[in-house]
Amino acid sequence: MGRRKKDIVWPEVPITGWASKGKALAKVEGMAVFVQGAVPGDVADLRVMKQRKKYAEAKAIRLHTLSPDRVEPFCAHFGVCGGCKWQDLAYEKQLAFKHQEVVDQLERLGGLDLPEV
């Protein structure tokens, strides 16, 4: 029988930003944490799913404070199928995230210096 790792839960972590693939971003002990089930502005308890030296992946298991940008998803399958990753975030914030994601990718990966839009 394999050894089971101890569950690690970080309590009341503020979610500060967004990451790709529908995950939010938090910082714990100087480490970037990619969080499933939270949006920027939430404060949540996080269960660590995977931990590396410089980053971790976690799941929000309890929301203490809801972000003012959080909305009720309109799709009955939200969170199950994976086709609508940011439906719990206000549409204006979704657009801002997508815009920033494109700019970041073009600058970082493409080496382009883009003008402010």
CATH number of the domain enclosing 35? 2.40.50.140
Least confident range of 4-13, 39-48, 50-59: 4-13
Domain count, the chain: 1
On whether residue 77 sits in a domain, the answer given is: yes
On whether residue 115 sits in a domain, the answer given is: no
On whether residue 117 sits in a domain, the answer given is: no
Domain span at residue 27? Answer: 9-108
Q: Are 50 and 57 in contact (CB under 8 A)?
A: yes
Q: Are 58 and 46 in contact (CB under 8 A)?
A: yes
Summarize pLDDT for 47-85 with one digit per residue, the tens: 999 999 999 999 999 999 999 999 988 888 887 877 788
On whether residue 79 sits in a domain, the answer given is: yes
On whether residue 116 sits in a domain, the answer given is: no
25 Cβ partners below 8 Å, 6+ apart?
15, 16, 17, 18, 19, 32, 33, 34, 35, 40
* 79 vs 107, residue with greater confidence: 107
